[in-house]
Structure 1
Amino acid sequence: MIEMINIGLPDAIAYRIEGKITEKEMKTVLAIFRKKIKKNEKLIIYQEVVSIGGVEFNAMIEKWKFFLAFGLSHFSRIAVVTHKKWIHKLVDLEGKLFKSIEMRGFSKEEKDQAIEFLS
């Protein structure tokens, strides 16, 4: 499930992931991304990961169609807040691979620092 949340930053797209991600939820988030891109706005992402219970195949197809159409150049900063250490390592690796995007992982206790990082 992807749930849109408010973190108090009007420019940020913020959402919480818990359980399985559906195609409908993925399309909702990607529609928000597209809307900002059409306005020439950079994407600032706050992602709070409670748990990952899988992703529907069609949701992954939607995600890949988005990246094929738009690439990564529209992303500015990404903060991932989670208690899962393996996700922190993955975010750190992605940050090294995609140098044009500022990416950092934060623990649940560091949520305020994540929001500050995005502002």
Structure 2
Amino acid sequence: MTLNFSFSEETVGYIIDGVMDQAAIQELKSQILEKFETHDKINLYVEDDNITHFSLNAVVIATLFPMEFHKRFDKIALVTNRKWIHALGVLDTVLVGVNIKNFMVSDRLKAISSISEPKE
């Protein structure tokens, strides 16, 4: 299940729980693409709320999607206690310069603050 919400017109957030499979990642991707229809760039907040299972296909799509649309993302806050997900965020940042900041779940307020701040 994915809960989505907006901080502002150009900042959207997703809290994801349950199974992260191809159907779930495609739903998330389509919601983001829909936001791109009305905004050139967006900020993105994604939180792992105890996802119970990840499919390899979903992980690959989630890693490649920011690369494919890197010019459309201003800032991304990735909130999870899973170090391997943080490593994927670092990989995206290094390879294509997507502005992804990793946060532990205990630092979610810091993540929300970071994603809500105007760009410097």
Q: CA deviation at 1:116?
A: 1.2
C-alpha change, 1:85 and 1:74, in structure 2 (3 Å) is same
1:77 aligns with 75
1:94 aligns with 92
2:30 aligns with 31
> Residue 53 of structure 1 aligns to a residue in which SS?
strand
> Residue 83 of structure 1 aligns to a residue in which SS?
coil
The whole-number CA distance in structure 1 between the counterparts of 2:78 and 2:52 is: 13
Calculate the aligned-residue CA RMSD, in Å.
2.8
Query: Could you give the per-residue CA deviations for residues 17-36 of structure 1, whole angstroms, max 9, x where no partner exists?
Result: 33322444333322221222
C-alpha change, 1:23 and 1:84, in structure 2 (3 Å) is closer
The whole-number CA distance in structure 1 between the counterparts of 2:56 and 2:84 is: 21
- Quick check: 1:41 aligned with 2:40? yes
2:54 aligns with 54
Give structure 1 stretches of 5+ with no counterpart.
none
1:114 aligns with 111
| Alpha carbons 1:17, 1:47 under 8 Å: kept | yes
TM-score by length of 2: 0.71
| Alpha carbons 2:74, 2:99 under 8 Å: kept | yes
The whole-number CA distance in structure 2 between the counterparts of 1:14 and 1:35 is: 14
Aligned length: 111
The whole-number CA distance in structure 2 between the counterparts of 1:22 and 1:85 is: 19
Percent identical across equivalent pairs?
23
C-alpha change, 1:52 and 1:73, in structure 2 (3 Å) is farther
Give structure 2 stretches of 5+ with no counterpart.
none
The whole-number CA distance in structure 1 between the counterparts of 2:73 and 2:89 is: 14
Letter in 2 for 1:34: L
